[in-house]
Amino acid sequence: MTRNVIAEYQKGELIQSHPEFDIYAAKPTLNYDLKFSLPHFKAGDEVGLPFDTAKYGILYHWFMFGSAASFALENYGDPIASYQKELERGHKTHWLITLPTTISNRAPEKIDKLACKWSEKVLFEGRCFTIEKTFNGNANLVPVRK
């Protein structure tokens, strides 16, 4: 199983530390084309989003970034045609997928993870999105219009 590797420049302050992973705030990075700083993500990157519990305080649900173009590339398809087809159908072209939680009796290698806040702006595949909470606790990428 491949584990995500987080570069040092992507890590902000340490939010939480657990036996399996450390959670860091996603650090904004300057995008020279767009001329502003936001956390950057690519397809397949994971992000944690907070939820409050009565017993344990703030915990995180984990999501993975995906898009029609990145899915087509992974499956040897035409990313431009795939993107256009989803636009024509009125479907989402960029999304966050909820990741499952697993329990194991083996201690995995400790890794670093990134987290964002709800309504935070992020840069994904060259576009600016806001991460919004849906009514059922999932996450939605909402394009930011200039």
3 lies in a domain? Answer: no
Does a structural domain hold residue 2? Answer: no
Number of domains present in the structure of the chain: 1
pLDDT value at position 4?
61
- Residue by residue, DSSP assigns 64-97 as EEEEHHHHHHHTT--HHHHHHHHHHHT--SEEEE
pLDDT at 11: 93
Three-state DSSP class for residue 10: helix
Confidence (pLDDT) at 107: 76
For residue 28, is it within any domain? yes
Distance CA 132, CA 124 (A): 14
Is residue 96 domain-resident? yes
Question: How high is the pLDDT of residue 3?
Answer: 58
Query: Residue 1: its pLDDT value, please?
Result: 44
pLDDT in tens for each of the 146 residues of the chain? 445 678 888 999 999 998 889 999 999 998 888 788 999 999 999 999 999 999 999 999 999 999 999 999 999 999 999 999 999 999 999 999 999 987 778 877 889 999 999 999 999 998 999 999 998 889 999 999 86
- Domain assignment present for residue 136? The answer is yes
- Give the count of beta carbons closer than 10 Å to the beta carbon of residue 18: 11
| Domain range for 28 | 8-143
- Is 89 a member of any domain? yes
Query: Given this model, what pLDDT does residue 45 score?
Result: 94
**Residue 60: predicted pLDDT:** 94
Q: Is 66 contained in some domain?
A: yes
Q: SS3 for 33?
A: coil
- 115 is written with which tokens? 């987290």
Query: Within a domain: residue 15?
Result: yes
